[in-house]
Amino acid sequence: MPCYRCGARQTDPVRGASPWKRGVRQETQVLICPDCQRLHDLDLDSCATCGSQSLICRLGEVECRSCGSVRLARAFGPAEVGAPPGLSAEVEAALNRVLGRA
């Protein structure tokens, strides 16, 4: 996956932690290259609870790494168009069963 801002591609990492960071933009997880991380306006989504931009998106949910707040991701783009009626309710019910929500 390339950097969402500049399109740079990740290369094979050297030993240790990757200098690339993850973020969430328009409810989609994106990668941010080290050069773009230096910019102050990355236009990333932020947590509604604490305002942090340390978010991850997985299994239709967005989780804040700072405060632990979890919410369902809103659908954007083609997923909204042409989806069978009731599909999102079925997906939400399945997620609730799998994640043990009431």
Bridge partners for 28 per DSSP = 25
pTM of the model: 0.63
Record the tokens describing residue 8, joined without a space.
């740079």
pLDDT in tens, 4-48: 888 998 877 778 888 899 999 988 899 999 999 998 788 899 999
Question: In 3-state terms, what secondary structure has residue 1?
Answer: coil
Beta bridge partners of 62: 57, 71
Phi, psi of 89 (to 5 degrees): -65, -40
